[in-house]
Amino acid sequence: MTETSAPSVAAEDTEHVDFDVEGMTCAACATRVERALNNVPGVIEARVNLALERADVVFERELSALEHLTAAVDRAGYRVRPAAEASVRQAQDQARLDSERRTLVVSATLTAPLLIGMGLNTLGYEDLHVMPVGEVLLATPIQFLIGLRFYRGAFNALRAGAANMDVLVALGTTAAYCYSWYLLRTLGEEADGRLYFEASAVIITLVLLGKHMENRAKRSAAAALQALLALRPDTGCVLRADGTEIEVPAEQLREGDLVLVRPGGRVPVDGEVVEGASEVDESLVSGESAPVPKQAGDAVTGGSVNGFGLLKVRATTVGEASTLARIARLVADAQAGKASVQRLVDRVSAVFVPSVLAFAALTFVAWLVVSGNFEQALIAAVAVLVIACPCALGLATPTAILTGTGAAAQAGILIRDIEVLEQAHRIDAIVFDKTGTLTEGRPRVLAVHGARGADPEATLRWAAAVQQGSEHPLAKAILAHAAERNLALEPVRSFQAVPGRGAEGSVAGRHVAVGNGGFIGERAQVDADIQALAQQREAAGETVVFVAADDALLGVITLADPPRSNAAQAVQMLQALHVSPTLLSGDAPGVAERIGRELGLPTARGGMSPEAKARAVQELAAAGHVVGMVGDGVNDAPALAAADVGIAMGSGTDIAMATAGVTLMRPDPRLVAAAVAASRATFRKIRQNLFWAFIYNVVCIPLAAIGYLSPTLAAAAMALSSVSVVCNSLLLRGWRPNLAAQNA
Ligand code: ADP
Ligand code: MG
């Protein structure tokens, strides 16, 4: 398949475009456009999303060009439109919905007398219904003016050598219409009461109604993402060097610009506060609506809403690289992809329409042979054609994914792509890293003990000096503690961090090492009294950092990193989902066990190096589990990569940079459980939708074939099946993570 050729092409030689495709009416169309694009030489991968009406193509720059893609779509019978800006697209969609509604009203108005006439006829009031000439006058504009789109769609499809739902509708209604004409011409007034004009009119009106409701629903499904993009302010107020203020369009803002954010205004860029203090609402990027205090030095994110203070912000990231643009891109990419179920559905629907045509022909012949009644044979065949439209099938998966990922994003859960979504709903084991995920990740120094009567302050000074080279949270805590004491620190040279174990370097001519018991034990003799002290503190859940200089133990520093307030609840939530949580930590076994007990974790293992964590994840996978790994990304990369789904817990602006499968926009471990729940809810919807789409066809096609379903009823059933599928997906919009405390 095309995917396998992808890695052989270097990223810089490829180009990525997305554009809107007009004229697709069902899954068969989307499959055809996709195939047409994939057949263009140089195309590496093309994906077409029916719900978004969008194509997403990666191609080799040397071998192909946009013109070739456009031409291929054209030949397949559809049109390319450049992917519109969110706001433009919104306006276009609205205009299209309005015109659809007008057409629908006209169509329904013309159909109503026909339908009422038919109703009265069956009730016995035969004199009151519309005269045959009247029927012709009402049905003809519906058939050929309003129904023109079906002929056009069918023509395009047939020209490209394929069949789609337009072919079914056009063929079915034309057959009913022409047969009625034939009766009218041969029987004259005698034909009264035997005509099928109302059937074709009703079919067209109902298919239009179904399409219209579907389009409205599709639009609200995509609305979450559009809302996100719409929140980017259009302009920013730049403070010039001479002190004047000037309002410039957001896309003209540059890195380094000083931007003024007034109370109540939206922050137009990612940046750093240089002056002023305020509280901002970052719910857009974090899903958390509690205002966050900001003052000079703090980072702010574009799109967040300023509170009551005036902020002067220096722009750090602008345009496509900004957090908001990345989040929007991430969500859009996720939604543009295709689930493997969808690929299956596409293959099915590609052969579905031709099969239906064949089956309708068979129905017609069988009736003719068995009953010899041309009229019955024709009507049964028409009913088969109409009921079998696979539109519901085409919408089942993409609408659910659209609403599911949208709702998750609003809750602060970003799912990278559909493969991740597919894996995530099967997760039954979650591995947590301790520091920063289950704990606050902001440890505090509790005490410093000198070994063999050494001065605790000297121990702290040596330790802090080495830690100047480290990014580790423990290093920051030790440095902060030293700073509080106003200790002057020697610089550190040839610094070396040993992930998951410690760090070392040379300070004032001595070789100084800090780290866990194992790390220091290899370098210095640890006395029994210090050993006992360490064990006792670790059993109490405290982290003990050992300090040694030139093979001699200087002492230990004990630190506390309290569990996050909702960590225990996160564990309960996972267990309620039948996902078994595990804690793997590089900290001492005693600490891991203590935290594990405190949070109710069934398994907690300490003393694990980053490699050991990765191996443990692989073992879980080998035992048949689908494993999610949650880390803060500092030194968990191997384990994150080994897991089926890597879950990065972000905070602030780094969230959008994460390449993990799932990115949580705020550091709340409960969102881990929520992410699993969201993907499960989405897949449940997909399954329900596919069931409903299939069951209509499976039950109704035979009914139509044996003549139990009139063409009119078939049209109603078909419209209903699309609408029910889309509405079922829309129910997902109301999905919210259940973060309320569950008291057992
Ligand atoms: P976790 O698995 O809890 O996230 P890490 O893998 O980041 O922990 O670190 C594991 C252990 O390694 C820490 O508990 C600490 O004992 C030791 N360690 C790592 N880096 C440092 C450092 N810079 N200073 C002191 N100790 C460190
Ligand atoms: Mg860590």
SS (H, E, C) 326-357: HHHHHHHHHHHCCCHHHHHHHHHHHHHHHHHH
Which of 585, 608, 609 should be mutated for ligand 1, with most atoms under 8 A from CB?
585
Of all protein residues, the one whose alpha carbon is nearest to atom 25 of ligand 1 is: 515
- Domain(s) labelled CATH 3.30.70.100 in the chain stretch across 11-83
Long-range contacts of 423-426 (CB under 8 A, 24+ apart): 423/626, 423/644, 423/645, 423/661, 424/628, 424/645, 424/661, 424/662, 424/675, 424/676, 424/679, 425/676, 425/679, 425/680, 425/682, 425/683, 426/626, 426/644
Sign of the dihedral through C-alpha 606, 609, 615, 621: positive
> Is ligand 1 within 6 A of the CB of residue 470?
yes
Tell me which CATH code domain 233-319 carries.
2.70.150.10
433 CA → ligand 2 middle, Å: 6
**pLDDT of res. 11:** 54
> Is ligand 1 within 6 A of the CB of residue 472?
yes
Whether residue 278 has pLDDT greater than 60: yes
Of all protein residues, the one whose alpha carbon is nearest to atom 8 of ligand 1 is: 586
> Is ligand 1 within 6 A of the CB of residue 543?
yes
**pLDDT of res. 730:** 84
pLDDT in tens, 151-167: 988 888 787 777 777 88
* Whole-number CA gyration radius for the chain: 33
37 CA → ligand 2 middle, Å: 45
101 CA → ligand 2 middle, Å: 56
Helix H segments across 623-661? 637-642
Of all protein residues, the one whose alpha carbon is nearest to atom 4 of ligand 1 is: 435
Whether residue 744 has pLDDT greater than 50: no
Banded model confidence at residue 325, pLDDT cuts 50, 70, 90: confident
Residue 436, classified by CB atoms within 10 Å of its CB into exposed (0-12), middle (13-18) or buried (19+), is buried
Atom of ligand 1 nearest to the CA of 584: 2
Banded model confidence at residue 336, pLDDT cuts 50, 70, 90: low
Q: Which of 99-103, 126-130, 582-586 has the lowest mean pLDDT?
A: 126-130
Whether residue 189 has pLDDT greater than 50: yes
CB proximity list for 89: less than 8 A, separation 6 or greater: 20, 83, 226
d(CA 446, CA 342) in angstroms, rounded, equals: 55
Whether residue 142 has pLDDT greater than 80: yes
- Give mean pLDDT, residues 455-472: 92
Question: Hey, which CATH number is domain 11-83, 3.20.20.190, 3.40.228.10, 3.30.70.100, 3.40.50.720?
Answer: 3.30.70.100
* Ligand number, closest to the Cα atom of 634: 2
User: CA torsion angle for 605, 607, 609, 614 (degrees, to 10)?
Assistant: -10
Q: For residue 388, how far is the Cα from the chain centroid?
A: 31
Whether residue 121 has pLDDT greater than 80: no
**pLDDT of res. 176:** 86
pLDDT in tens, 70-80: 999 988 888 88
**pLDDT of res. 466:** 95
Which of 545, 594, 617 should be mutated for ligand 1, with most atoms under 8 A from CB?
545
> Is ligand 1 within 6 A of the CB of residue 469?
no
Strand order, beta sheet including 79-82: 43-49, 54-60, 14-22, 79-82
* Ligand number, closest to the Cα atom of 608: 1
Whether residue 3 has pLDDT greater than 50: no
- Give mean pLDDT, residues 539-550: 93
**pLDDT of res. 333:** 65
Which of 434, 460, 468, 516 should be mutated for ligand 1, with most atoms under 8 A from CB?
516
Whether residue 655 has pLDDT greater than 70: no
Highest mean pLDDT, choosing among 221-230, 403-412, 712-721? 403-412
559 CA → ligand 1 middle, Å: 12
Active site (catalytic) residues: 433
**pLDDT of res. 15:** 84
Residue 634 has which token pair? 């500092």
- Domain(s) labelled CATH 3.40.50.1000 in the chain stretch across 413-439+564-673
Whether residue 288 has pLDDT greater than 70: no
> Is ligand 1 within 6 A of the CB of residue 635?
yes
> Is ligand 1 within 6 A of the CB of residue 585?
yes
65 CA → ligand 2 middle, Å: 46
- Higher-confidence residue of 330 and 572: namely 572
- Higher-confidence residue of 688 and 7: namely 688
Atom of ligand 1 nearest to the CA of 500: 6
Of all protein residues, the one whose alpha carbon is nearest to atom 20 of ligand 1 is: 502
738 CA → ligand 1 middle, Å: 33
- Cα atoms in the Cβ-side hemisphere of radius 13 Å centred on 212: 19
Q: Which of 77-86, 119-128, 315-324 has the lowest mean pLDDT?
A: 119-128
* Ligand number, closest to the Cα atom of 606: 1
> Is ligand 1 within 6 A of the CB of residue 587?
yes
742 CA → ligand 1 middle, Å: 33
- Higher-confidence residue of 567 and 128: namely 567
- Give mean pLDDT, residues 295-308: 85
545 CA → ligand 1 middle, Å: 8
Which of 587, 605, 613, 634 should be mutated for ligand 1, with most atoms under 8 A from CB?
587
> Is ligand 1 within 6 A of the CB of residue 440?
no
> Is ligand 1 within 6 A of the CB of residue 653?
no
d(CA 402, CA 425) in angstroms, rounded, equals: 16
Residue 103, phi-psi category: left (phi > 0), alpha (psi -120 to 50), beta (remainder): alpha
Of all protein residues, the one whose alpha carbon is nearest to atom 7 of ligand 1 is: 500
**pLDDT of res. 323:** 74
- Give mean pLDDT, residues 348-364: 86
502 CA → ligand 1 middle, Å: 6
Whether residue 258 has pLDDT greater than 50: yes
Atom of ligand 1 nearest to the CA of 501: 12
- Domain(s) labelled CATH 3.40.1110.10 in the chain stretch across 444-560
Whether residue 429 has pLDDT greater than 90: yes
> Is ligand 1 within 6 A of the CB of residue 681?
no
510 CA → ligand 1 middle, Å: 22
> Is ligand 1 within 6 A of the CB of residue 435?
yes
CATH superfamily of 444-560: Calcium-transporting ATPase, cytoplasmic domain N (3.40.1110.10)
> Is ligand 1 within 6 A of the CB of residue 502?
yes
% of the chain beyond a pLDDT of 90: 31
Closest CA to 663 of 265, 287, 367: 287
Residue 183 has which token pair? 């009766």
Whether residue 731 has pLDDT greater than 80: yes
> Is ligand 1 within 6 A of the CB of residue 592?
no
- Give mean pLDDT, residues 29-35: 84
- Domain(s) labelled CATH 2.70.150.10 in the chain stretch across 233-319
User: CA torsion angle for 495, 497, 503, 507 (degrees, to 10)?
Assistant: 0
Atom of ligand 1 nearest to the CA of 609: 6
Whether residue 276 has pLDDT greater than 80: yes
Residue 18 has which token pair? 């997305």
Q: Which of 110-124, 221-235, 466-480 has the lowest mean pLDDT?
A: 221-235
Bridge partner residues of 584 (DSSP):
433, 605
Which of 437, 466, 474 should be mutated for ligand 1, with most atoms under 8 A from CB?
474
> Is ligand 1 within 6 A of the CB of residue 586?
yes
Atom of ligand 1 nearest to the CA of 467: 23
Of all protein residues, the one whose alpha carbon is nearest to atom 12 of ligand 1 is: 501
Residue identified by tokens 């009416």 is 25
d(CA 79, CA 76) in angstroms, rounded, equals: 9
**pLDDT of res. 417:** 78
> Is ligand 1 within 6 A of the CB of residue 516?
yes
Closest CA to 210 of 92, 114, 100, 118: 100
User: Considering the chain, what is the average pLDDT of its residues?
Assistant: 83
Q: Return the CATH class of domain 413-439+564-673.
A: alpha beta
> Is ligand 1 within 6 A of the CB of residue 501?
yes
Q: For residue 436, how far is the Cα from the chain centroid?
A: 25
Whether residue 375 has pLDDT greater than 90: no
Query: What angle is formed at CA 321 by the lines to CA 399 and CA 678, rounded to 5 degrees?
Result: 30
Banded model confidence at residue 460, pLDDT cuts 50, 70, 90: very high
Banded model confidence at residue 337, pLDDT cuts 50, 70, 90: low
Whether residue 30 has pLDDT greater than 90: no
**pLDDT of res. 600:** 94
Highest mean pLDDT, choosing among 41-55, 246-260, 311-325, 475-489? 475-489
Whether residue 214 has pLDDT greater than 50: yes
585 CA → ligand 2 middle, Å: 7
pLDDT in tens, 569-609: 999 999 999 999 999 998 889 999 999 999 999 999 998 88
Query: What angle is formed at CA 213 by the lines to CA 211 and CA 217, rounded to 5 degrees?
Result: 115
